[in-house]
Structure 1
Amino acid sequence: MARDWKLPRNGSCRCGALGFEVTTAPAITAACHCRGCQKMTSSAYSLTMMLPEDGFRVTSGEPVLGGLKAEEVQHFFCPSCLTWVFSRPRRIAGFVNLRSPMLDDTSDIAPFIESWTDEKLPFAETGAPESFPQFPPPEAFGSLLQAFAERGDGTRGG
């Protein structure tokens, strides 16, 4: 059963200079254990929520491109505190990957999938109900998005 996402939601970077608003429910939530995310977050994994682009807008500040400046993804940071706030994956047009811990209220958000468990640190546990050694195969995305929409969040059992 789909749930109420308490929209709109607001958030910001660590210093508050870069603010944003989310006006639509995420397509999915995730944790990524890849070495790149470990290094960019200085942590065991990064947390993200994939949002339709028209449901996300920067409300204050001007994000700057940083991190890995690759063709396949653009990472955006606050120019003041250098917090990684969101990414735009070019191969998935029309979506923004927001770092979910940047939201003011994260009390009801958990990862539904975890990716790159092949590179996971031994102690890192997310509780995500779906797990993949790398990225989920493209043919799995449709059923994952549907399962997330039906469950409504990343928690086990809804």
Structure 2
Amino acid sequence: MHIDGACQCGKITYDAEVDPQVVAICHCTDCQRLTGTAYRVTVSAQRSRFHITSGEPKLYVKSADNGRRRLQFFCSDCGSPIYTTGEDEDAEQVGIRLGTVNQRQELKPRSQSWCSSSLAWTQNLTGLPGRPGD
């Protein structure tokens, strides 16, 4: 599936080819802190199928508990997380942050990881009152 997207301010844009079956939620505490919310949703793409079309994202390197480094790319103006990748064999995959994807309504999460770190209330939001806008 072809997707495109941008950060909140529009400075960074990209396009990619993704497999819509590879959309995942991560509940790890790193993702909670990096997003400032309860979890992160990512769609994966082959590095060769992901292209920045405008702007230059800023890089933050996060070293995991296992010693592997994750390269976190974000907009230096608005702070939107754009994508992540790794080093060596981990560099072949890019994890695109779903909130920046223009076609995000078409991409449904198919798996979750680090559920031991999940916040209990994230598992069932259907009972919360809601409004169509604010």
Q: TM-score, normalised by structure 2?
A: 0.81
Alignment of 1:124-139 (within 5 A): 124-125=122-123
Instruction: Identify the residue that residue 100 of structure 2 maps to in structure 1.
Output: 102
Match among 55, 58, 65 for residue 61 of structure 1: 55
Q: How many equivalent residue pairs?
A: 120
Task: Report SS of the residue matched to 1:68.
Answer: strand
Displacement of 1:121: 0.2
- TM-aligned CA distance change 1:50 to 1:73, over 3 Å: same
Instruction: Identify the residue that residue 150 of structure 1 maps to in structure 2.
Output: none
RCO higher in 1 or 2 (8 Å CA, sep ≥ 6)?
2
- TM-aligned CA distance change 1:12 to 1:58, over 3 Å: same
- Distance in 2 of aligned mates of 1:101 and 1:10: 11
Unmatched 5+ residue regions in structure 2? 125-134
Instruction: Identify the residue that residue 73 of structure 1 maps to in structure 2.
Output: 70
Contact persistence 2:62–2:69 (CA under 8 A): no
Give the CA RMSD over aligned residues.
Answer: 1.9
Q: Which has the higher strand share?
A: 2
Match among 81, 90, 93 for residue 92 of structure 1: 90
Identity %, equivalent residues: 28
CA-to-aligned-CA distance 1:16-38 (integer Å, 9 cap, x gap):
10000013435721100011101
- TM-aligned CA distance change 1:125 to 1:33, over 3 Å: same
- Distance in 1 of aligned mates of 2:120 and 2:30: 17
Unmatched 5+ residue regions in structure 1? 127-158
Alignment of 1:44-59 (within 5 A): 44-59=38-53
Aligned letter for 1:11?
G
Instruction: Identify the residue that residue 11 of structure 1 maps to in structure 2.
Output: 5
